Amino acid sequence: MSKLTAQGSSLISTMAINDNKAGMEGLNKEKINQIIFEASKGSKFFENEQKKEEQLNQKILEQQILISSLSSAMLFHGLKEADELIEKLKACQDLSHTIVHVDMDAFYAAVEMRDDPRLKDKPMAVGGMSMLSTSNYIARKYGVRAAMPGFIALKLCPNLVLVEPNFTKYTAVSQEIREIFAQYDPNFSPMSLDEAYLDLTEHLIYRRGSSNLCRIFLLRLKTDNSSIVVNDLECTCNLNAVLRPSVINLEELKINSVSSENLQEYLNSLDFSNFNLPKDCQVCNKKLPPFSLKLYDTTVEDAVLEMRNRIEQRTFLTASAGIAPNTMLAKVCSDRNKPNGQFQIHPDVQEIEEFMKNLPIRKISGIGKVTEKLLGSLNISLCSDLYKQRALLYHAFSSLTFQYFMKITLGMGSTSLEKDEERKSLSTERTFAEISDPAQLYEKCAELCQHLAKDLNEEQLMGKTVSLKIKTISFEIKTRSHTLQCYTNDEKIIFNAAKQLLKVEIDSVKQSLLRLRLMGVRMSKLVPQASNQVSIVSLFHQSNRLTSTASRTNTHNFNIQKTDFDEKDFSTSINILEANDPVLESTMTTRHSQKSLFQKTQSPQKKSIESGMKNSIMKFVSKSERCSDKIANNCYVESNIKVENNNNLRNLDCENSSSTSLKLQSNSKSNFSNAAMQNVSQATLISSVESKQKTFISCPVCGQQKFDWPLDQLNQHMDLCLSRKTIKTILQDDKNSNKRGAVQVENDDSLPSVPKRKKTQIAVDSYFK
């Protein structure tokens, strides 16, 4: 602090170099900060940072005032509350899991160095002049790091080599490491292309009972300690896939006869030239490299070492790992011995306490530079300080944040990896050279909406809330959002909403221009698009056929009549695109699209088995029970839904149309508008019978029938029915068997640092395959 302010009012603390990252210890921070400062000062960006800094200082000031106004009685109360919470937390501390966080070392940079050895001894970074994704360890010595603009990095390190990112390549490598992860935890939780959490608890049980053979792997012989050296003539295929089966096969009997203690020695003594092994790789035809055999123990350390070695053999890249009883600690541990190392915190309260004592709060995932500074003003810099200042924290922060802090100080975190929650939002944004011409702004907006609609369609999603994000040339960020009447992924409807949000902003700076450097569009409140909308339409036809009085129903009935926005609220002269026929047809296939550099990808298991309809039912049901106990219930709900769903389909197929109904989100005027059809994605459809322009609808839950039941009323009715009847019955048994303690905080759900994955929608039995 003092050093920074000593340089004048100028240097911004939150902008200063962050030496938190591995490989950045003991830098000449002062010099680096000076260079960053010189490169930044006077820029719009810098001015905005100053503004933010002032706001933060203001917040700190207010916090100080609040703190100093606390009476000793209040402080005592805070202390009491804190201690009570801590007791409850301790009571439900779970040390029975073995969580591992695996993180590739300088991932993008490492891939580039692997593929271009000329980079190996040079400072390099992946990214461009305006932003870096990552840097190698040589560059880090100069203070060059991820999230730093390239032009500043070049000032810090004039010899820095910039490499354009190649995401296709990183994704391919990511695929390879995930294949390995899956062998240790099929339910692993990827956080980005280069890192994942694994729950090794089950693997370790299996491992302890496994034969030595299962724990022997091939390692290429290294000429030095650091990295595998490959020459051009040698095979670089997956060595353990190509050769391990034959080696193990040949040696099986002997290996089984040697005692575990002597086995490694025996493996070292083997001379493979005597073996009848292929000399060349059957995949690439190149010469197979010389190798040794390594036996790994049944311990966690060896399991993780084995995994890391296999990653290296497979990708020629190194990974670091952290082993601990929860995700929060595992994450911190994986950073401890980076690069190419691992660290374990054993499931022991004393050891955890000892570890937390001197751990800087900034190391905890979820505590960033702002929270660090905020807490710094309360003399908190280590995790143990959170405990010391617990009485203050109780008063200074929301109860959620307070709980989060208390959990940190106790070294507690999530002990399960709840996987693959459906995404909550999808967005696209672009930075550009200043645009202020309204026509061009609308044009940009249209582009973004087109992009977003494409992504939504590729992911088979529809959303309800459209948000516009803008960043002015002075880096001020604004978001404006509007929730539509119904779910959509139609480009025109999205644009119609976005353009009107944009219009308000353009109009609001009256007499002058809205000058932007960035625009983005986001869709949230997502539901899966019914994957079989076409067949649903045909089901309408089918049910019509069943009813002699049925009137014609065709797709034109579903056309949207007007745009979703109220025209009176957002009258606009811009008329580039009008909302039209949203797409009714969609395919059954689920396509994956590669998104951000860091985005998690969903597990393949899930996507392949879900139909849109089932998804929507799951979504609907889960919403009501979102906060309840998860895994067990979900499995149960899941299987019930499956049955119900099948029954539904059977009902449709046969003539039993006694219960005919449709649950739709509120809708208007026309019996079944197009928008309503889109809402089928979150509908439970059994069947529908139309007669003489009127519709006879019955609730699929209770069977109650009504003539021309207004959709919003039916909706409400079904909400009630489902939540009251279905869910309650389904969950009744579980509630009994799954008693939940009075301690709310046991569940990590709402805490910032916890990697959140909601429920597992994979069928129960797939776990055991």
Partner DNA sequence: ATACATACC
Partner DNA sequence: GACTGGTATGTAT
Q: Which is nearer to DNA, 203 or 482 (CB)?
A: 482
In the bound state with DNA, the residue whose beta carbon lies nearer, of 440 and 538, is 440
Q: Which residues pair with 16 in a beta bridge?
A: none
Q: Does 423 bind DNA (CB under 7 A)?
A: yes
Residues linked to residue 199 through DSSP beta bridges, in sequence order: 99
**Nearest residue (CB) to DNA, 292 versus 666:** 666
316 binds DNA (CB under 7 A): no
Does residue number 745 form part of the binding site for DNA (CB under 7 A)? no
**Residue whose CB is less far from DNA, 451 or 735:** 451
Q: Where are the beta strands (DSSP E) in 156-237?
A: 161-163, 189-192, 195-199, 216-220
Check binding of 427 to DNA (CB under 7 A): yes
Q: For the segment 586-615, give every residue that binds DNA (CB under 7 A).
A: 595-599
Name the minimum Å distance from CB 714 to DNA: 18
Q: Would you count residue 479 as binding DNA (CB under 7 A)? A: yes
* Minimum gap (Å) between residue 611 Cβ and DNA: 21
Q: Is 206 in the site for DNA (CB under 7 A)?
A: no
DSSP 325-385: SSHHHHHHHHHHT-SS-EEE--S-HHHHHHHHHT-BGGGSTT--HHHHHHHHTTT--BHHH
Residues of this chain, 749-768, that bind DNA according to CB under 7 A: 750-752, 756
Does the footprint of DNA cover residue 401 (CB under 7 A)? yes
Beta pairing class for 132-135 and 124-127? antiparallel
478 binds DNA (CB under 7 A): yes
Question: Shortest gap between Cβ of 34 and DNA (angstroms)?
Answer: 13
Is residue 367 within the footprint of DNA (CB under 7 A)? yes
Nearest to 399 by CA among 6, 614, 81: 81
d(CA 490, CA 485): 14
- Rounded to a whole number of angstroms, the minimum distance from the CB of residue 345 to DNA is 17
* 555/624 with CB nearer DNA: 624
Q: Which is nearer to DNA, 92 or 147 (CB)?
A: 147
- Should residue 398 be labelled a site residue for DNA when binding is judged by CB under 7 A? yes
Among 465, 640, 705, 747, binds DNA (CB under 7 A): 465
How far apart CA 579 and CA 270 sit, in angstroms, is 73
152 binds DNA, rule: CB under 7 A? yes
Q: How far is the CB of 18 from DNA (least distance, A)?
A: 9
Q: Which of 400, 439, 588, 720 binds DNA (CB under 7 A)?
A: 400
DSSP states of 678-722: HGGGG--B---EEETTEEEEE-TTT--EEET--HHHHHHHHHHHI
Of the pair 302, 429, the CB lying nearest DNA is at 429
Torsions phi, psi of 310, nearest 5? -65, -35
Q: Residues 162, 182, 518, 534: which binds DNA (CB under 7 A)?
A: 518
> What's the closest the beta carbon of residue 221 comes to DNA, in angstroms?
32
Pairing of strands 99-104, 195-199: antiparallel
Binding of residue 339 to DNA (CB under 7 A): no
Nearest CA-CA partner of 477 in 437, 431, 442, 444: 431
Q: Which of 321, 325, 281, 285 minimizes the C-alpha distance to 414?
A: 325
Q: Which stretch binds DNA (CB under 7 A): 126-134, 562-570, 636-644, 714-722?
A: 126-134
Q: Does the footprint of DNA cover residue 467 (CB under 7 A)? A: yes
CB of 312 to DNA, least distance (A): 19
| Number of residues binding to DNA, judged by CB under 7 A | 73
- Of 16, 86, 351, 366, the residue at the interface with DNA (CB under 7 A) is 366
In the chain, count H helices and then E strands.
Answer: 28, 18
How crowded is residue 585: how many other Cβ atoms within 10 Å of its Cβ?
8
Please, what is the minimum distance in Å from the beta carbon of residue 15 to DNA?
7
Q: What are phi and psi of 126, to 5 degrees?
A: -95, 125
Q: Angle at CA 549, nearest 5°, toward 547 and 551?
A: 95
What DSSP character marks residue 226?
S
Q: Are 518 and 44 in contact (CB under 8 A)?
A: no
Site for DNA in 434-463 (CB under 7 A): 455
HEC profile for 486-540? EEECCHHHHHHHHHHHHHHHHHHCCCCCCCEEEEEEEEECCEECCCCHHHHHHHH
